[in-house]
Amino acid sequence: MSLFSLDNILLDESVNSPSNVIDIDRMECLDDYTKNYSFVQEGYDFIIEMNCYYMAAEKAFFKTILESHGNDIIITESFDGFFGKIKDIIHKFIEWIKKVFKQFVVKMNSLFSSEKYIKKNSKLFAKFDSRDEFEFKGYEFTKINDVDVPKANALDAFQGDNNGEAYLDLWYDADSQNLDMSDDSTKATRTAQTTALNNKLNKKLDELNDNVEDFYDSFRARVIGSDSKYDSSEYADELFRLFRNDYDEPTSITIDSTFVMDAYRRFDKYKDTVKSIEKTQKQIIKDYETLERHLDKMLKLNKGENNVNTLSIDTSSNTYVDTQIDVLKGNSTGGAQDGSKVYDKSTFDKMNNYMKAQSAKVNQMCAIHTQAFSAKLEAAKDCFKQDKKILYKALSQITKRSNKPNY
């Protein structure tokens, strides 16, 4: 499908004749779907879908808890079900980023394949000189070929400021580990230790909830390699500027021979841009797959045996996950012991509440990466379309001059 409806003169074999002049103002877009398609809107639609999915999971979780009447099995299943929904969100995000990238490739191929005229007349660009220069309202696009924008850092973001000990780096006092629960003489000690541990867990949960918005603001910045913080209301504008040399409005650009040749190079080598963005996509996918394994296998709360068990996990040489596992297995100072007993079911509930709040971050993290990745695709598409417009105008300038005497 042709992107532009050009006059017959543009498609005629005799177009190389100097007498043929391209009228840039008469170019019209035939493929309105390709012209108006927005990767940013595609991203927003997915975020809305995922938010609805998450809210439904929250609603189902609380409904089941309220109807459980304190039944331990039902409560445990409710938490397990919620954690399963979080993993589903990761799956859906990975599938979405694969799908939207495929759409990007298809649309870029379509835009390029429809422009045989530019390719056929590429040698004319060498004739563009100072007499052909013109002003163009547009953008200088940036960071489109930067593989690390957006950055694949979802798993590392869980590390926070605690060097990997932010999950459960607290436990009973060292001299009160695994007290015999059948020994009445230890009951008072177990009760005191349970109260102390539950207070620690409550404090960590409060800290997590109090700082969650700050976490998101920092994560938005880290995703795009910034040391600043961005709240949700300003992130879209920041992403727009990020890929347009910090401008939010088009500016006047003097199109000289260097700009024309750069535009043609980008146009002709558009597949290099596609390959670069594909690398970014694969890095993000790998990061979230590792995050899912982390959430899935890091901790198992065994209420039936009143203990905590860590599962074997392929950490994929990730320092943060290694540290987390060490903390839980007791290989770092103050960490919990693998197989340690829990003296009261209230501690399990508090652990689950903490892990629920921690894992709930994943939904917003996926949304933030969705925004950043779709903004990059949109910028790449806009850059390609702008380059085409400039190249047509450049050919128009050259052919107009060719009709003048003493050309």
Please state, in angstroms and rounded to a whole number, the distance separating the CA atoms of residues 185 and 7: 96
Alpha helices in 211-318 (DSSP H): 212-223, 232-242, 257-268, 270-297
Cα separations in angstroms, 46 against 38, 99, 239, 291: 13, 11, 17, 20
What is the CB-side half-sphere exposure of residue 310 using CA atoms within 13 A? 23
- Which residue ranges make up each domain of the chain? 4-402
Whose tokens are 């829990």? That residue is: 342
10-19, 20-29, 142-151, 208-217, range with the lowest pLDDT? 10-19
- Nearest alpha carbon to residue 102 among 60, 162, 42, 56: 42
| 228 or 31, which is more confident | 228
Phi, psi of 251 (to 5 degrees): -120, 165
The string of pLDDT tens digits covering residues 288-297 is: 998 888 777 6
Among 10-24, 182-196, 297-311, 378-392, name the one with the lowest average pLDDT: 10-24
Residue 13: other Cβ atoms inside 10 A: 7
Q: 85: Cβ–Cβ under 8 A, 6 or more apart, which residues?
A: 53, 54, 57
CA 187 – CA 343 distance, rounded (Å): 9
Question: Is the distance from CB of 74 to CB of 250 less than 8 angstroms?
Answer: no
C-alpha to C-alpha distance for 200 and 195, rounded to whole angstroms:
9
- What does the pLDDT look like over 163-214, one tens digit per residue? 334 444 455 665 566 677 778 888 898 888 889 888 988 988 898 899 999 9
pLDDT at 25: 40
| Beta strands 134-138 and 251-255, pairing class | antiparallel
Residue 80: C-alpha distances to residues 270, 338, 359 (Å): 46, 20, 12
More confident residue, 11 or 136: 136
Contact 255, 390 (CB under 8 A): yes
Could you tell me what percent of the chain has a pLDDT over 90? 54
Give the span between the Cα atoms of 147 and 143, in whole angstroms.
8
Q: What is the mean pLDDT of residues 268-297?
A: 92
The Cα 215–Cα 223 span in angstroms is: 12
Q: Which amino acid is at 172?
A: Y
Q: Residue 194: its pLDDT value, please?
A: 86
pLDDT digits (tens, 9 = 90+) for 137-157: 999 999 999 999 999 999 888
pLDDT for the residue 361? 92
